[in-house]
Structure 1
Amino acid sequence: MNIVDTRIPDVKILEPRVFGDERGFFMETFRESWFRENVADVTFVQDNHSKSRRGILRGLHYQEPQPQGKLVRVVSGEVFDVAVDIRRDSPSFGQWVGCYLSTDNRRQMWVPEGFAHGFLVMSDSAEFVYKCTNYYHPESEQSIRWDDPTLGIEWPVERAGDVLLSEKDRTAPIFT
């Protein structure tokens, strides 16, 4: 696995080694000992899988007071994935990192606890899978408006009207 640093030191891009031939390919997507030694000393307790169509934007979501760290990847299609540092005592508070995750590049992004997370589907559809460091806790679910001007996230969209949002995401508060 290759680690790509981002402008926020705690957020990492992981690129697996892929072995392929005329039959297909093989790659290791997670090894606990390697992850603990090279990325973060965490335990994953839940895996999630979602499917969305082009233009769907999910986020920006976070959990408080029961936060989740997430190791995210795409198994079909392509998304633009974003992590926003919402840790008030962090030197990168209010900053964001974005990258494309796709079937083709096979990249993963580590989004630690204390970050809001969201993604925009760029392909006709995308299947998104992620490991979580804490169980889903509906009472801890929080959101930040995806197009908050103070964050200045550069989503790859031409017009805000091109983005399809849930009611919860459409009415999310701004970042404070």
Structure 2
Amino acid sequence: MQIKNYPLADVVEITPRVFADERGAFLETFSAKEYAGIGITHNFMQDNLSVSKKDVLRGLHFQKPPFAQAKIVSVVVGKAQDVVVDIRRGSPTYGQYATCILEAEKRNQLFVPVGFAHGFVALEEGTIFTYKCSNYYNKESEGGLLWNDPALGIDWGIENPLVSEKDEVLPTLAEFESPF
């Protein structure tokens, strides 16, 4: 597998080795042993999947402690621009973000550590996005940041995303008190 580190500590893009021939392709999407070798040692407990129309924007979300989650995210159909924002108090990159294009054809993944808000925008119709989570979802522990906060300055790559009502009223970074 190929590893790409990001300027935000612990954010890693993983591109697995794909074995392809005239019949199709095979790849390992997760191996605890291989991931431990690059520092990802979480016990993953829950897998989630979302299906999105083109230009749907989901985020920026996280789970507060004690239900905080690290995630390995990927796209199995389509393409998405993935975004992570560092919300760890005291981090030298607090409030900074990184983006990654996740593509079904490429089979790449992004590791999102605990202490990061996460979101994505679907770049193709019917994009299927998967999340491997290190903790169970807990409704009372939901948190988020406003996707279009000018202080973050995220370039989502589209002009008029479809955003849920819930995501339109999340706090800005200035209004936010990090639980991390």
Query: With structure 1 as the length reference, what TM-score do the two structures score?
Result: 0.95
- The offset of 1:9, in angstroms, is 2.6
- 1:28 aligns with 28
Q: For the Cα contact (< 8 Å) 2:15–2:109, is it kept in 1?
A: yes
Q: Which amino acid aligns with 2:102?
A: L
- 2:138 aligns with 137
How many residues align structurally? 173
What CA distance in whole angstroms lies between the structure 1 residues aligned with 2:74 and 2:62?
17
What CA distance in whole angstroms lies between the structure 1 residues aligned with 2:40 and 2:24?
31
What CA distance in whole angstroms lies between the structure 2 residues aligned with 1:51 and 1:124?
9
What CA distance in whole angstroms lies between the structure 2 residues aligned with 1:124 and 1:47?
22
Q: Which amino acid aligns with 1:149?
A: P
1:156-167, aligned counterparts within 5 Å? 156-157=157-158, 159=159, 162-167=160-165
- The offset of 1:34, in angstroms, is 1.4
- 2:104 aligns with 103
- 1:77 aligns with 78
1:56-67, aligned counterparts within 5 Å? 56-65=56-65, 66-67=67-68
- The offset of 1:154, in angstroms, is 1.4
Q: C-alpha deviations, 1:139-175, integer Å up to 9, x for none?
A: 0001111011111111111x2xx11011110111111
- 1:51 aligns with 51
- The offset of 1:36, in angstroms, is 1.6
Q: 2:167 aligns with which of 143, 158, 169?
A: 169
- 2:178 aligns with none
- The offset of 1:42, in angstroms, is 1.0
Q: For the Cα contact (< 8 Å) 1:11–1:111, is it kept in 2?
A: yes
Q: For the Cα contact (< 8 Å) 1:17–1:27, is it kept in 2?
A: yes
SS at match of 1:101: strand
- The offset of 1:80, in angstroms, is 0.2
Q: For the Cα contact (< 8 Å) 1:54–1:123, is it kept in 2?
A: yes
What CA distance in whole angstroms lies between the structure 1 residues aligned with 2:39 and 2:155?
26
Q: Which amino acid aligns with 1:132?
A: C
SS at match of 2:37: helix
- 2:177 aligns with none
SS at match of 1:38: coil
Q: Which runs of 5+ in 1 are unaligned?
A: none
What CA distance in whole angstroms lies between the structure 1 residues aligned with 2:9 and 2:143?
24
What CA distance in whole angstroms lies between the structure 2 residues aligned with 1:76 and 1:23?
19
What CA distance in whole angstroms lies between the structure 2 residues aligned with 1:41 and 1:95?
24
Q: For the Cα contact (< 8 Å) 1:144–1:175, is it kept in 2?
A: yes
- Over the matched positions of the two proteins, sequence identity in percent amounts to 47
Moved over 3 A (4+): none
Q: Which amino acid aligns with 1:131?
A: K
| RMSD, aligned α-carbons | 0.9
- 1:10 aligns with 10
What CA distance in whole angstroms lies between the structure 1 residues aligned with 2:35 and 2:90?
25
